[in-house]
């Protein structure tokens, strides 16, 4: 179970990370990617379609179609992927779901969550897909 990201976002991050290890421009179909990241093909395909609309991955239609990295992994910040799939709600809304939660009317965890939320946002904004790729090389190479 994740604390911050939706399952959709996890699948998107894993799929793009997998693609980032591949030869530049090489196309992989959703089934190939889904088998490697051990997620349902339809789920992987949908997340990659969302990321293709944002220009992070590219897609090619047809018999030999599939997905590929559209941007250099050094230019893709993790926040770009998170926002494309999950949006900014986790960084703007109350973690407990209370309406009107803010500095003037904080929920019981507002201040503590605010620190964690800000640190998470800064890390995602700072780290690129290339950084994550380097740090998770062994894990991803075990999938290939």
Q: How many structural domains is the chain composed of?
A: 1
Task: Read off the pLDDT of residues 97-110 as tens digits, 9 standing for 90 and up.
Answer: 899 998 899 999 99
Supply the range of the domain harboring residue 97. Answer: 7-141
In a domain, 17, yes or no: yes
- CATH number of the domain enclosing 71: 1.10.10.10
Cβ contact 56:16 at 8 Å: yes
Calpha distance 29→41 (Å, rounded) = 9
In a domain, 96, yes or no: yes
Which distant-in-sequence residues (6+ apart) come within 8 Å of 139 by Cβ?
Answer: none
In a domain, 2, yes or no: no
In a domain, 32, yes or no: yes
This prediction has a pTM of 0.85
| pLDDT of amino acid 1 | 37
Task: Read off the pLDDT of residues 79-94 as tens digits, 9 standing for 90 and up.
Answer: 999 999 999 988 888 8
């Amino acid at each position: 179970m994740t604390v911050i990201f939706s399952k959709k976002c996890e699948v998107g991050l894993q799929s793009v990370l997998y693609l980032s290890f591949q030869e530049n421009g090489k196309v992989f179909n959703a089934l190939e990617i889904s088998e490697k990241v051990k997620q349902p093909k339809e789920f992987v395909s949908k997340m990659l379609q969302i990321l293709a609309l944002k220009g992070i991955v590219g897609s090619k239609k047809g018999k030999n179609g599939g997905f590929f990295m559209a941007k250099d992994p050094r230019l893709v910040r993790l926040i770009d992927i998170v926002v494309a799939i999950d949006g900014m709600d986790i960084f703007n809304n109350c973690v407990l779901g209370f309406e009107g939660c803010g500095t003037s009317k904080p929920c019981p965890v507002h201040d503590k969550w605010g620190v964690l939320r800000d640190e998470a946002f800064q890390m995602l904004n700072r780290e690129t897909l290339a950084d994550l790729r380097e740090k998770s090389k062994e894990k991803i190479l075990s999938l290939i």
